[in-house]
A and B are shown apart, each in its own frame.
Chain A
Amino acid sequence: DAGITQSPRHKVTETGTPVTLRCHQTENHRYMYWYRQDPGHGLRLIHYSYGVKDTDKGEVSDGYSVSRSKTEDFLLTLESATSSQTSVYFCAIRKKGQTEAFFGQGTRLTVV
């Protein structure tokens, strides 16, 4: 268990509304990642962070922004949700000295 908590776990929202997903970790890891999972695409990286206020884009970053004002929290914001952003969102961390990522339980987001 990597001490990752994602909230909310499920959300239904309307097109055009802003949505923020939260990833909280308890172990002070430097690297945090947001992925989305869609059938036939596996997981695709949205944004990642390598420290407080240090973030960078992944391969599918359009329509998403992130913030990391504290080590323990990495927020993903959909500025104006669209139906194409209906997905399962996973947060992950990388522990110091290890190469693999550890994943949270996921957030299922439905945009109607």
Chain B
Amino acid sequence: AQSVSQHNHHVILSEAASLELGCNYSYGGTVNLFWYVQYPGQHLQLLLKYFSGDPLVKGIKGFEAEFIKSKFSFNLRKPSVQWSDTAEYFCAVNGVDSSYKLIFGSGTRLLVRP
């Protein structure tokens, strides 16, 4: 069965610090990978996605992620965080089957201090 691991459950940073959130998945086949963000009290929004091609993908709000197939990883990065990046971040994967159902990691709560 597919699974997704996010190793950092809580991260606290000061503004302008760099961010890297880890994500590892277990699935040997072709995958689509996603990072979603959930701001306090809101629904999930897509930050970025990878499905093929360049393993370095850029998303909204200055976020990027790198797909490393040999490590089954899809880490999220941002060079300089802002207070407004305070949110919960979820990594997700779907296998290329007919259901397109997403398997989510447990999430990382990011707090950015002004």
Mark A residues whose CB is within 8 Å of B.
Answer: 31, 33, 35, 40-45, 48, 50, 56, 58, 90, 92, 94, 99-106
Contact = CB atoms under 8 A, between A and B. Distances in A.
A38 B6 CA distance: 15
Contacts of A35: 104
Chain B binding site: helix, strand, loop or mixed by DSSP? loop
Interface in B30-48: 32, 34, 42-46
A3 B104 CA distance: 23
23 contacts: A31-B99, A33-B101, A33-B102, A40-B106, A41-B106, A42-B4, A42-B6, A42-B105, A42-B107, A43-B44, A43-B90, A44-B104, A50-B98, A50-B99, A90-B43, A99-B34, A99-B94, A100-B34, A100-B49, A101-B100, A101-B102, A104-B43, A105-B43
A91 to B, nearest CB: 10
Interface residues of B, number: 25
A44 B102 CA distance: 9
Interface of B: 4, 6, 9, 32, 34, 42-46, 49, 51, 90, 92, 94, 98-107
A35 B106 CA distance: 13
A101 B44 CA distance: 9
A82 to B, nearest CB: 22
A90 B44 contact: yes
A4 to B, nearest CB: 9
A42 B101 contact: no
The winner among B45, B100, B101, B106 for most chain A CB atoms within 10 A is B101
